[in-house]
């Protein structure tokens, strides 16, 4: 959120800026505040780059005039005006609001008063879609072997094709299937460990240090490099606060956040499920998968509360076992989820695409046309991409491995798929 502070003097500008400096680093990062200071005679050259205009008290009676001029150029601008204690009266309110000023504050008002107003403005921007707010998708499963990691990686590649800045978060702390499948490994995991043991703060800078790019638009966040700290993250109640802080910053840094929980339910993953826009449960089309899902749903419904955010993906659908309508018919009388969770198409069996781990590609780019179309439809239904969007020109040809950043495969040769 871009803030322009305008006053007659540098001292007046600094007085307003000190209020913002008093905000916690967390608040500054969450609001994505970028502040500029300018004198009143020069403000018009900077106004077009602002979301919020703050007028200092030294402007006095000239502040409403300046506000009216600014709004004539940018009607969507939000304006906060400071006045002296002597000028703080009904008259100043009327003059300010008739000029379109959103809020009038006194010189003696606390930084929290300004923060409260900026938080309210930011909330409006979020509702209007004026600021980045990532879609959060938690991918989980009722039993192992359903392909939840394959679906997570594939959805990330779909997002990359549509140029969505995406975070893939591997919270499968025991097997790290997502990281191993994408051949992601590095010292960045030590940053995550430092968050857990408290030796480093969670900030935008430290999150950037922790991310490992796997393509131009997709980065991976690894589990901690220590198993003890990994278990503390997902099993200890303190992990809820850590994960919540990571998620808050990831929301404003990305378009999409996809979290592979590895099926583990604990304080942290439970909190992430509550915060997610969608909880995707990947299931297979077997009888054991059905009975496991029945038990799993009892826990997940209590965590998610709003079951409208639950969606099912049947992976490896062959048509010879349980179809989606059959699974729905078995579970609906008990769990009463409605039709929405069952709307996603099943992912067909694709033996060639199942070889994706270690290849630098995913189920999406290695899949047949039907597989790719299904994954795009799932991404669209989850609001990760928009129907009718045109993929980025750079992404229309080639595979994910061809778009790796330095350190990936070279000379245009595809990676070698490991032999089984």
Handedness of CA 146, 148, 149, 155 (dihedral sign): positive
**Residues of the chain with pLDDT > 90: what percent?**
63
Q: What are phi and psi of 37, to 5 degrees?
A: -115, 140
Condensed to tens digits (0 to 9), the pLDDT of residues 222-263 reads 999 999 999 999 989 999 999 999 999 999 899 999 999 988
Q: Is the pLDDT of residue 415 over 50?
A: no
Quick one: tokens of 122? 């930011």
Distance of CA 107 to the CA centre of its chain: 37
Domains of the chain (ranges plus CATH)? Answer: 2-128 (3.40.50.2300), 135-403 (3.40.50.300)
Q: How confident is the model at residue 309 (pLDDT cuts 50, 70, 90)?
A: very high
Cβ neighbour number for residue 405 with a 10 Å cutoff: 11
Contact (Cβ atoms closer than 8 angstroms) between residue 287 and residue 322? yes
Distance of CA 31 to the CA centre of its chain: 14
Mean pLDDT of 289-304: 87
- Per the listing, tokens 């330095």 go with 406
Q: What pLDDT does 94 receive?
A: 85
- Per the listing, tokens 């997002």 go with 159
Q: What pLDDT does 398 receive?
A: 43
Q: Is the pLDDT of residue 402 over 70?
A: no
Mean pLDDT of 71-85: 91
CA 278, CA 381: separation in Å to the nearest integer? Answer: 10
Contact (Cβ atoms closer than 8 angstroms) between residue 138 and residue 243? no
Condensed to tens digits (0 to 9), the pLDDT of residues 135-189 reads 999 999 988 888 999 999 999 999 999 999 999 999 999 889 999 999 999 999 9
Q: What pLDDT does 325 receive?
A: 87
- The rounded mean pLDDT for the chain is 87
Q: What pLDDT does 392 receive?
A: 63
Q: Is the pLDDT of residue 394 over 50?
A: no
Q: How confident is the model at residue 377 (pLDDT cuts 50, 70, 90)?
A: very high
Q: Is the pLDDT of residue 393 over 60?
A: no
Mean pLDDT of 262-291: 89
In this structure, what DSSP letter does residue 322 have? -
Contact (Cβ atoms closer than 8 angstroms) between residue 64 and residue 99? yes
Q: How confident is the model at residue 399 (pLDDT cuts 50, 70, 90)?
A: very low
Q: How confident is the model at residue 196 (pLDDT cuts 50, 70, 90)?
A: very high
User: What's the 3-state SS for 134-146?
Assistant: CEEEEEEECCCCC
Question: pTM to 2 decimals?
Answer: 0.78
Condensed to tens digits (0 to 9), the pLDDT of residues 317-339 reads 766 677 888 888 989 999 999 99
Burial class (CB in 10 A: 0-12, 13-18, 19+), 21: exposed
Q: Is the pLDDT of residue 403 over 60?
A: no
CA 334, CA 196: separation in Å to the nearest integer? Answer: 39
- Per the listing, tokens 């008290």 go with 57
* From 132-136, 193-197, 290-294, 416-420, the region with the lowest mean pLDDT: 416-420
The dihedral formed by the CA atoms of 238, 239, 244 and 250, expressed in degrees to the nearest 10: 140
How many residues are listed for the chain in this entry? Answer: 420
Q: What pLDDT does 132 receive?
A: 75
Q: What pLDDT does 333 receive?
A: 93
């Amino acid at each position: 959120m871009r803030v322009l502070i305008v006053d007659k003097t540098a001292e007046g500008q600094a007085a307003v800026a000190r209020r913002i400096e008093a905000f916690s680093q967390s608040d500054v990062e969450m609001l994505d505040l970028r502040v500029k200071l300018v004198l009143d005679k020069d403000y018009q050259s900077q106004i077009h780059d602002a979301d919020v205009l703050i007028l200092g008290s030294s402007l006095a009676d000239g502040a409403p005039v300046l506000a009216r001029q600014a709004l004539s150029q940018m009607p969507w601008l939000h304006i906060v005006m400071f006045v002296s204690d002597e000028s703080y009266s009904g008259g100043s309110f009327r003059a300010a609001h008739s000029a379109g000023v959103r809020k009038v504050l006194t010189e003696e008002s606390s930084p929290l008063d300004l923060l409260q107003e900026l938080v309210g403005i930011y909330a409006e921007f979020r509702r209007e879609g004026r600021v980045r707010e990532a879609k959060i998708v938690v991918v989980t499963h009722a039993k192992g072997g359903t392909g939840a990691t394959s679906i997570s990686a594939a959805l990330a590649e779909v997002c990359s094709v549509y140029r969505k800045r995406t975070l893939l978060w591997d919270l499968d702390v025991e097997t790290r299937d997502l990281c191993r499948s994408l051949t992601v490994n590095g010292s960045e995991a030590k940053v995550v460990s430092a968050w857990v043991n408290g030796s480093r703060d969670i900030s935008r800078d430290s999150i950037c240090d922790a991310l490992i790019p796997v393509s131009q638009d997709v980065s991976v966040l690894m589990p901690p490099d220590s198993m003890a700290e990994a278990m503390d993250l997902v099993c200890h109640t303190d992990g809820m606060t850590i994960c919540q802080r990571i998620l808050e910053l990831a929301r404003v840094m990305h378009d999409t956040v996809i979290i592979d929980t590895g099926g583990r339910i604990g304080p942290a993953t439970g909190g992430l499920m509550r915060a997610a826009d969608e909880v995707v449960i990947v299931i297979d089309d077997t009888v054991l998968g059905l009975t496991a899902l029945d038990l799993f749903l009892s826990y997940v419904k209590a965590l998610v509360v709003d079951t409208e955010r639950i969606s099912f993906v049947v992976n490896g659908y062959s048509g010879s076992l349980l179809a989606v309508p059959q699974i729905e018919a078995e579970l609906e009388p008990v769990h009463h989820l409605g039709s929405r969770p069952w709307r996603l198409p099943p992912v067909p069996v694709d033996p060639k695409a199942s070889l994706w781990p270690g290849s630098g590609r995913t189920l999406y780019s290695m899949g047949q046309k039907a597989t790719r179309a299904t994954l795009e439809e799932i991404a669209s239904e989850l609001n990760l991409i928009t129907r009718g969007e045109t993929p980025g020109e750079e992404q229309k040809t080639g595979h994910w491995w061809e778009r790796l950043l330095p350190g990936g495969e070279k000379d245009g040769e595809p990676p070698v798929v490991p032999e089984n």
